[in-house]
Amino acid sequence: MPERLRPWQQALYQLIFGLVALFVLLPIWELAYLAFDGGVRGWPTTFRLLPLQPTLQVFITTWNRTGQTITFLQALGNSLTVSIGAALLSVLFGASMAYAFARFRFPLRRAGLFGLLLGTLLPPVALMTPLFILMRALHLQATLLALTIVYTSFAMPFAIWNMRAAFQSVPNELEEAAFLDGASPLTAFLRVTLPLAIPAIGVAAIVAFLLAYSEFAMGWLFVTSSDQVTLAMAIAGILNGNAISWSWMAALAVLMTLPVVVLFEVLQKSMLERMMFGSLGE
């Protein structure tokens, strides 16, 4: 059995963990306080635990006018379109590539894996110009589809590496048993290997979703219409404006987090439990 901590050690650990939690939670509380404070003018210079002038008017204003000509629901729709699209595409194409790298041996296999790893290390800004030229050649620039493809390209390397490790952990004997029962390679993949890799697929999808949902720098290059602005781009637009409204920015940030919280609550009882315990026992 592990050795029990002494009282002073327990107190020390609790103090350290409490300071870490305070360091993490205080900025979140400050963000919420700014969102509900109607008395903030210009740059906030003092820290308060409670709003000086509590009001919901900031949220109402942000809901009706997130950007110059766009409402919160329109910006949320744009964000969900590119985020869900990037998650689905990265999983769809990433799963097939990850399975190929995990099960087959072909020329330049290691070079391909190294190229994917290099793609995860490069900053997205380094690929802005090539991607813009490519989207322009395909006549897709200034569209949400182009933004979805760009975010998918950023999420694909992690998705492939993550799902490749999951596919490698599935014993070959399970697929061979399916072959003996008359299953085709595609059927064995869909009915045997893929269900056992659901946890890794879920992680890849969530990472791709969050990457596309929170990214804003690349968006300004591929979206030129104010009707196609995402929530992250709207926040960046507020901070880059001539007259910064910090309460407006904080309210929009709080509203932006709500769909993600709802998403995790919905998935908590289904996919997240399978991510923790796997699906072998089902």
Residue 102's CATH number: 1.10.3720.10
Q: Is residue 27 part of a domain?
A: no
- The number of distinct structural domains making up the chain is 1
Mean pLDDT of 124-144: 85
Model confidence band, residue 212 (pLDDT cutoffs 50, 70, 90)? very high
Cβ neighbours of residue 233 closer than 8 Å, sequence gap 6 or more: 216, 219, 220, 223
Task: Calculate ∠ Cα 24-276-204, nearest 5°.
Answer: 75
Asked if the structure places residue 95 within a domain, the reply is yes
Q: Whole domain around residue 141: which residue ranges? A: 67-277
Query: Tens digit of pLDDT for each residue in 215-249?
Result: 888 888 888 788 888 988 888 877 776 556 788 88
Residue 268: what residue type?
Q
d(CA 34, CA 43): 11
Band (148; pLDDT cuts 50, 70, 90): very high
pTM across the whole model: 0.83
Of 226, 230, 217, the C-alpha closest to 81 is: 230
Answer whether residue 201 is part of any domain. yes
Closest CA to 147 of 97, 89, 199, 186: 89
Q: Does 19 reside within a domain? A: no
For residue 99, being part of any structural domain is answered with yes
Tens of pLDDT along 9-65?
888 889 999 999 888 888 888 888 888 877 666 666 677 777 777 788 888 888 887
DSSP letter at 193 equals I
| Residue 251 within any structural domain of the chain | yes
Question: Using an 8 Å Cβ cutoff, are 86 and 212 in contact?
Answer: yes
- Taking only the tens place, the pLDDT of each residue in 153-179 is 899 998 999 899 889 888 888 888 888
Q: DSSP letter for 6, please.
A: P
Rounded Cα distance, 86 and 187, in Å? 25
